[in-house]
Amino acid sequence: MEAASARGESGMTAIEFVLLTPVLFFLIFATVQFALYFFADHVAQAAAQAGARKARATADDNPGGWRGEATDVVDAYIRQLGPKLVLGPDVKTIQPQQNTVGVEITAEVPSVFPGLDLTVHAQSSGPVERFVEEDG
């Protein structure tokens, strides 16, 4: 009886392998896509914060040129941290309120799955830094 039972299940392992392999590949690719997205988001956030720091530090002394300087810092950060990870960054300098400046970035993320278009968005702003002499 044992021999008949063993012969009846002899192909089950191969069938299970064939059925589970696509699921395992999907899980592996989904993990890679998840990691790419969150690393790209981190790079965009870091670049936006660096650009906002530069904008805050230079907006008072250089009212006409702080936008270009902040954009240059953002571009340098992206080139250094993830040039193939943050694709086609759209960098905008913003002034949400008076005496407040910042940077906003929108970019695409490389996709492991065909047809999946993911974008990251990062924004950082703060008050303009200016030197005020103390009355003494």
Q: What is the residue whose two structure tokens read 């899980």?
A: 27
What is residue 68's three-state secondary structure? helix
What is residue 92's three-state secondary structure? strand
Contacts of 55 (CB under 8 A, 6+ apart): 66, 67, 69, 70, 93, 101, 102, 103
pLDDT for the residue 136: 60
> Can you say whether the dihedral through the CA atoms of 124, 127, 131, 136 is positive or negative?
negative
- pLDDT tens over the chain, length 136 residues: 455 555 566 677 778 888 889 999 999 999 999 999 999 999 999 999 999 999 999 988 888 899 999 999 999 999 999 889 999 999 999 998 888 999 999 999 999 988 899 999 999 999 998 877 887 6
